[in-house]
Structure 1
């Protein structure tokens, strides 16, 4: 609260007091009182008025600042009436009741939106599980009737399955703790499984796969890591060159195991590199007819953050390296040794 604003609000009170002082001065002078006596009375009145204005200003400023501090500490600031003291003045009580009504309306609206989101999320998850059945059936039909057409169709079905999995994991990414299981996994197993998930897509793109030094074990959820690797493999295919190659390898760096996925694709422009994990960011490469959605890397980063895994990207003129950093649990390692 500013002092100028406070004084402006108190102008009616000051004006009434000034009129009262003038009326009293005229009355006292008309009754033959000395000028010094009248001035003394007016000075006392003025001193009392100024003291009152200063004390009220300080009290209101302290109270309002405290209220602002409480509001800033609240995550849901529409709940401020719950921590406010009920005001004593009638005018302030009216505004307090208005705030309570607004709070109630906001809580009801938030509850309605949360229910709608929950129902929509449950529907999406159910739909994805249902659509997996015809996708699997089509893959079996194609595998039982091998031809150049069915091989191309199998690669496209893997793309469809990738998008359905992406939608499912996006819906679950808000509460990953309800759907993951941390255990010891062999990095070679999860990498080979991810390659198998994309075998037709990799075969169609003539991708050359190499893997080195994958004997390390880490503690994480293999299903979520497999999904993340599927997204990274899909990106490598999407942004590949005429002779695409993909290299998987691990490095032990201090207290972390680094799983690196290196390709020889078109690379990422330096100006786009800091933003590739932002939601919806497609960048320069995504605008060149590759149907980029800007969701894949964002979702990978979000899941890695939830799992406590680092995800970084390094790119040059040709090729990109994405690195998953798994922390080493010294306690578990010591017990095993």
Structure 2
């Protein structure tokens, strides 16, 4: 609470007290009281008035500081009236009931928005599941009828599948805990499946992939980790160079299994590195290539945070290396051994 502003607001009251003192002093002089007795009365008046006002100021300041601390700790700050007691002062009660009305209105508005979001999310998920059927049918038709144009069509169908998967995972990324299943999985199998998901993209762009030393077992959700790997491979190919290659390998470092996805692409500028995981950020390379959405790495970061997977990125003009870090569950390993 601003002390200067508080005392400034009290200025009319102080002026009123001063006028009262002057009026009383003139009256006491008129009826024959001595100057000493009048000064004594004024001194007592000032002392009592100052004591009461300072006490009221300290009490009011303490209440306001406490309220501000509550407000800072609240995640949903519109709920501050729930932590407030009904004030005793009449003017404070007016503001309190205004806050309660605003809180009620906000809660009703949030409820409507949450309901609309849930309906929209349900529609998106249903649409994606429905669209997968014709995409799969077209894939089968192209694979069973090998012609030059069907190979090109398969690349586009693979791209369409990636976009639909990205939309689905984006819709579910807010509440991944309702969709994932953590169990022991073989890292090599996930890597091979991710490569198979992008086989037409890799073939069309003449990408060489080297996989080595990934025969580790990790505890995570296979579907979500596979999606993250897909995004990393797609992102790498998007910023490829001639004679482009991707090296995928893993190492055990202390209590973590680290999976490396390393490429020799154009790299990321030092200015863009701190922001690569921000939603919608495309950076210098994205503006040059004009085909970036800024969603891929953002989704990877968001899902990794939800799954407890470390995600780091190192880049220079010689290429980019993305590192996924999986925690080793020592307790489960001890039980199994």
Question: TM-score with structure 2 length normalisation?
Answer: 0.96
Tell me how far apart the structure 2 counterparts of residues 21 and 322 of structure 1 sit (CA, whole Å).
Answer: 79
Structure 1 residue 66 corresponds to structure 2 residue 84: no
Q: More displaced, 272-281 or 161-170? A: 272-281
Secondary structure in 2 matching 1:313 = strand
Structure 1 residue 304 corresponds to structure 2 residue 309: no
Structure 1 residue 183 corresponds to structure 2 residue 183: yes
Structure 2 counterparts to residues 228-239 of structure 1, below 5 A: 228-239=228-239
1:131-158 deviation per Cα after TM superposition (whole angstroms, max 9, x unaligned): 1111111111111221111101101111
CA spacing shift, 1:319–1:3, aligned 2, 3 Å: closer
Tell me how far apart the structure 1 counterparts of residues 149 and 73 of structure 2 sit (CA, whole Å).
Answer: 62
Tell me how far apart the structure 1 counterparts of residues 259 and 145 of structure 2 sit (CA, whole Å).
Answer: 37
Q: How far did 1:316 drift? A: 2.6
Tell me how far apart the structure 2 counterparts of residues 89 and 272 of structure 1 sit (CA, whole Å).
Answer: 55
Q: How far did 1:61 drift? A: 1.1
CA spacing shift, 1:20–1:270, aligned 2, 3 Å: closer
Tell me how far apart the structure 2 counterparts of residues 290 and 81 of structure 1 sit (CA, whole Å).
Answer: 49
Tell me how far apart the structure 2 counterparts of residues 219 and 2 of structure 1 sit (CA, whole Å).
Answer: 54
Cα root mean square deviation, aligned: 1.3
Structure 1 residue 151 corresponds to structure 2 residue 151: yes
Q: How far did 1:58 drift? A: 1.2
Q: More displaced, 35-44 or 149-158? A: 35-44
Tell me how far apart the structure 2 counterparts of residues 19 and 268 of structure 1 sit (CA, whole Å).
Answer: 74
Q: How far did 1:290 drift? A: 4.1
Tell me how far apart the structure 2 counterparts of residues 122 and 160 of structure 1 sit (CA, whole Å).
Answer: 20
Secondary structure in 2 matching 1:271 = coil
Partner of 2:250: 250
Contact 1:238 1:290 in 2 (8 A): no
Structure 2 counterparts to residues 24-39 of structure 1, below 5 A: 24-39=24-39
* 4+ runs deviating over 3 angstroms: none
Gaps of 5+ in 1: none
Structure 2 counterparts to residues 79-228 of structure 1, below 5 A: 79-228=79-228
Q: How far did 1:2 drift? A: 2.9
1:93-116 deviation per Cα after TM superposition (whole angstroms, max 9, x unaligned): 111111111111111111111111
Tell me how far apart the structure 1 counterparts of residues 216 and 83 of structure 2 sit (CA, whole Å).
Answer: 53
Q: How far did 1:3 drift? A: 2.8
How many equivalent pairs are there? 337
Q: How far did 1:289 drift? A: 2.5
Question: TM-score with structure 1 length normalisation?
Answer: 0.96
1:112-131 deviation per Cα after TM superposition (whole angstroms, max 9, x unaligned): 11111111111111111111
Q: How far did 1:234 drift? A: 0.9
Partner of 1:272: 272
Structure 2 counterparts to residues 307-318 of structure 1, below 5 A: 307-318=307-318
Q: How far did 1:18 drift? A: 1.5
Contact 1:184 1:220 in 2 (8 A): yes
Gaps of 5+ in 2: none
